[in-house]
Amino acid sequence: MTPIDNVYTKEEVDALIDAAVAEARAIDEASMAEHNFKATIISMVLGFICLALFVDGEDMIDTSPSSIRMFAILVMGVVWFYLFNQWLREPKDDD
């Protein structure tokens, strides 16, 4: 075996680089989509928490039973929304 047998051609190197760049772009797009989804859910949760804490209060946090009930309803709604979206985003096996 001569040393020249272990050398890549320019075309082979270009093909390997193109494949690596395409794979990196696909990984980046997938990770950014997942990040955006999670950031949206976190923002929604924080917004609902702020809404629930001030729903019946006048310029202060209201801890009356009706506000606590509303807070629990909003939190359960957000959890349901998150779980439903996770279920929709999972790949399905059609057997």
28 part of a folded domain: yes
Q: Confidence band (pLDDT; 50, 70, 90) for 26?
A: very high
As a whole number of angstroms, the distance between CA 62 and CA 72 comes to 14
Q: Do 87 and 69 meet the contact criterion of CB atoms below 8 Å apart?
A: no
44 part of a folded domain: yes
Report how many domains make up the chain.
1
Please name the amino acid found at residue 95. D
Q: Residue 23: is its pLDDT beyond 60?
A: yes
40 part of a folded domain: yes
Q: Residue 3: is its pLDDT beyond 70?
A: no
For residues 5-29, average pLDDT: 91
Tens of pLDDT, residues 47-77: 877 776 766 566 677 677 877 787 788 788 8
Query: Coil, helix or strand for 20?
Result: helix
| Cα torsion 15, 16, 17, 19: sign | positive
25 part of a folded domain: yes
94 part of a folded domain: no
